[in-house]
Amino acid sequence: MSAPRPTQVPWDLSFLRVGALVTGAVAVVAALVAGFVAGWADAAGVLVGALVVTAFFVVSGVAVAWAGRINDTFTLPAALGAFFVKAIVLFGILNALPEDGWLDRLTMAWSVVVGALLWSGVQLRWVWTRPLYYVTPPPPPGQATVPPAPGGPATRG
């Protein structure tokens, strides 16, 4: 006889909103500074790099949450697969941009690195500040379920 499967805890993707807000604020300030100091091609590189990092973290978060809803053992392959696909896409994006184009490729690449570190910091803080339950918490008041009768479902008759 197998043990009953514990209730599925939904995957929380609220860090995506926080990460996007923090990245947006930092990117706007960094783009203004880069625009005045190094030129507007560098400012465009900062903004495009921030958009790329945000899109990549959203894709990873959704892929891992989707895999986790199916089975927790699928989360690592989903994360590694998403990382592989993102690395290929980033390589393609950087190679498709012309060397003397409307944005500076080196600035964009560095903003991707800084953005990834920023997003990692946001995720770390998000994980460290969440309550960690060692047992399933009780349901909220008013949503309690009636346990089944011992020995099987109740019958009338």
- Which residues neighbour 15 within 8 Å (Cβ) at sequence distance 6 or greater? 61, 122, 123, 126
Mean pLDDT over 98-110 rounds to: 87
Burial (0-12, 13-18, 19+ Cβ within 10 Å), 45? buried
Q: Which residue has the higher pLDDT, 124 or 145?
A: 124
pLDDT of residue 51: 95
Q: Which residue has the higher pLDDT, 15 or 142?
A: 15
Rg, C-alpha atoms of the chain: 23
Q: Which residue has the higher pLDDT, 95 or 20?
A: 20
Tokens of 50: 């921030």
Mean pLDDT score across all residues of the chain: 85
d(CA 132, CA 143): 21
Please determine, for residue 136, whether its predicted confidence score (pLDDT) is greater than 80: no
pLDDT of residue 148: 57
pTM: 0.74
Please determine, for residue 5, whether its predicted confidence score (pLDDT) is greater than 60: no
Alpha helices (H) in the chain, listed in sequence order: 15-37, 40-70, 75-96, 105-128
pLDDT of residue 18: 92
Side chain identity at residue 44, one-letter code:
A
d(CA 55, CA 39): 25
d(CA 71, CA 90): 29
**Chain segment 17-36, per-residue pLDDT in tens:** 999 999 999 999 999 999 99
User: In 3D, which of 43, 39, 66, 152 has the Cα closest to residue 51?
Assistant: 43
Please determine, for residue 144, whether its predicted confidence score (pLDDT) is greater than 80: no
pLDDT-derived band at 127, boundaries 50, 70, 90: confident
